[in-house]
Amino acid sequence: MASPAKVLFLAMDAGDKSLIESWAAAGTLPALRALLAEGLVGNTISLEGFFEGATWPSFVTGVTPGHHGFHRMIQLNPGTYEFHRCFTGEFIKPEPFWNYLSRAGRKVAILDIPLSGISREINGIQMVEWGSHDRNYGLCTWPEKLKKEVLTRFGRHPLRKSCDSYARTPEEVCRFRDLLIQGAQKKAELTKYYLNNGGWDFFAQVFSESHCVGHQCWHLHDPNHPDYDPEIVAITGDPILDVYRAIDAAIGDILTHIDDDTMVVFLASHGMAHNIGAPFLLRDILVRLQVAEACSSKIPMGRSPDILDRLDALFAWSWKYTPEGIKQRLKPVADRFYDWIHRGHVHVPSSVLHIDLRKSKCFPLDNGGPVGGIRINVAGREPDGVIKRGAEMDMFCDDLTKALLTIVDYDTGIPMIKSVRRTDTLYQGECLDHLPDLLVEWSDKKLLGSGGKGNVDRSKLTLTSEGTGIIEGVNHDCRSGDHRPDGLFIVLGPGIRAGRLERTVSLMDFAPTFSSFFGVTLPQVDGEPMNEIL
């Protein structure tokens, strides 16, 4: 029987490499343990400063954010103070590598690669967001009739809505975990069905259940987390371990449907650990440093709020003052109402609420948790820009960097910010103006002590510096885990020698590697083919 695929790519979205390696070594993840023992193993690194939003766009295109411009699903529109939703398939101009494979006559199946759009010229099949963490389009397929077939045969992913949720009870955590486990199992069935159609040159499937559980349940995994509560863990167990086991079982099941002629590539795209830093205080920091101008209006830029803005504000105000007992009973209805308000509507990011962008020298730009973003109000680029490019901008960035690096945690004196980097020193390209100008990397210190029965409130943070004075705030983020840039890959197949690759591979190297494997050259990529695989 002919091999069902020449290259089978399987990935764990935000699968943490340290957890994978330790649990595989312990025998808890037998499928991945076998791959680690028999394959070529290497470390990967995602995009510096943009390893939350740009990981998958750079993976599929082989170029840096400077050339594709994507870092967040809601981004600033250059030349304005308006924000827009970035639909990746239309926004990102460099094409994904599978378009080039398709044009070269290769047959491909691309299933659930995060933050990708539909390629209507694809020679094969594609499915977007059947079971992805990041949701932009909802379930879409090519050809379009594939959607009906998928829903008829497999239904929808068991987790029907965003994984983000506040104040889950232990019982709700268990239900959330079980939905993710069921999702991994169902994804394995879906994968095997289409894989067994056979004749694929390149077949890809990504498990995003690891992404969801890492964000929501890190505090139930890490005993040092401030919110770790052994009494709750006695009920829930470690949901991350349970979901990783389910994905491992799914991978093992899928691998029984290929033969020795198939090259298997496994990727844990970027890691996960405790939620860090104070990105929710960056706005207040910039106001205190007198480089951002505060205003009384929730809607900046003088834009009149529309009806959905007003509903959102009313909902947030009323929910804030709703008694906890009533909140629990109303939560299912509130979740549906919140989803309805936000579906397809571009809201002003919370980071710039109460900021007059036109009068500010700079302002926060959402970029993720571990690395925050700052936009300089540049003359000639922004409509009311006040900082001139060149020496004036250099001096402004230097002074702001020095001020930010002096900020410390009030209780411990530990620096809050690890580094401040200029994007244009890290990357070049035609899309730089779509990105933040400064990247604020928060310190990866556990500032609030060790865990134990949730006796420390990680949501409360106090920081200080000579320039800011004392700033206090409450983190309302429901995610106890957040990303890290490190990842892991394994390659197993004909001609591949088992062992450890000494160098670290960029995620941008995979697109040119896959293409080169099939004799296809990608134009203008920043990544390089991995000769150890080729």
pTM score:
0.90
Whether the per-residue pLDDT at 335 is higher than 90: the answer is: no
How confident is the prediction for the chain on average, in pLDDT? 90
> What are the residue ranges of helices labelled H in 343-410?
391-405
Residue 474: Cβ within 10 Å count: 11
Adjacent-strand bridge partners of 469: 465
Per-residue confidence (pLDDT) for residue 300, from 0 to 100? 57
At 303, is the pLDDT very low, low, confident or very high (cuts 50, 70, 90)? very low
pLDDT value at residue 457:
52
**Which whole number is the average pLDDT over 430-436?**
98
Q: What is the mean pLDDT of residues 176-188?
A: 98
Contact 74, 344 (CB under 8 A): no
Cβ-based neighbour number of residue 361 at 10 Å: 18
Predicted confidence (pLDDT) per residue in 506-523, tens digit: 999 999 999 999 999 999
Distance of alpha carbon 266 from alpha carbon 72, whole angstroms: 25
Give the per-residue pLDDT at 71: 97
User: Is pLDDT above 80 for 398?
Assistant: yes
Q: What is the pLDDT of residues 6-54, one digit of tens each?
A: 999 999 999 999 999 999 999 999 999 999 999 999 999 999 999 999 9
User: Using CA atoms, how far apart are residues 236 and 170, in angstroms rounded to an integer?
Assistant: 6
> Which residue in this structure is represented by tokens 């090519």?
142
Residue 455 is predicted with a pLDDT of 40
For residue 499, with 0-12 CB atoms within 10 Å meaning exposed, 13-18 middle and 19 or more buried, which class applies? exposed
Q: Is pLDDT above 50 for 156?
A: yes
- pLDDT tens, residue by residue, 341-350: 554 455 678 8
How much is the pLDDT for 298? 62
pLDDT band at 135 (very low <50, low <70, confident <90, very high): confident
- CA 28 from chain centre, in angstroms, equals 26
pLDDT at 456: 45
Check residue 350 and give its pLDDT: 83
Which of 66-75, 341-350, 431-440, 520-529 shows the lowest per-residue confidence on average (mean pLDDT)?
341-350
CB 453 within 8 A of CB 229: yes
Q: In this model, does residue 183 exceed pLDDT 60?
A: yes
The per-type count for the chain, helices as H runs and strands as E runs, is 17, 20
Tell me, what's the pLDDT at 220? 96
Question: CB-based burial of residue 60 (10 Å sphere; 0-12 exposed, 13-18 middle, 19+ buried)?
Answer: buried
